[in-house]
Amino acid sequence: MTHPSEFDWTTLRATARSAMERAYAPYSKFAVGAAALTDDGRMVSGCNIENASYGVTLCAECSLVTDLIMGGGGLLVAFTCVDGNGDTLMPCGRCRQLLYEHSADGLILDTVSGFKTIDEVLPDAFGPRQLDVYRETRA
């Protein structure tokens, strides 16, 4: 497993703050930015994008994953998320699942209670790795 000290969290948080400054949050006024490193060394980021129909609002993690896919894909290895004050935020449950879908094994998240792996913040998750195991047992 990768250790949190292997990543430049200062730069990662600064990238998340920069993304947060581009958030579209006219309704809640709660801007959010997210940034992550990929397994090939790229940095991806995203911000929340609200909508008058609140249910179609996109969390910052959603636009981060869009940036990941548009940049060629890959897997996330380190992640942080910040609010309008630059304070660390914990992804909601939906976004934890979204991050899990695109995570390298052992993805490290910068959380309000310290560094945690994706498996610690989403225990017993279901995603691509579980489907791979299922397919292997069916072959």
Q: Say which of 6, 21, 50, 61 is annotated catalytic.
A: 61
- What phi and psi values does residue 4 have, to the nearest 5 degrees? -55, -30
Q: How far apart are CA 58 and CA 48, in angstroms?
A: 6
Neighbours of 49 (CB within 10 A): 17
**Is-contact 50 27, C-beta < 8 A?**
yes
61 is catalytic: yes
Q: Angle CA(66)–CA(81)–CA(22) in degrees, nearest 5?
A: 65
Which residues are identified as catalytic?
A: 61
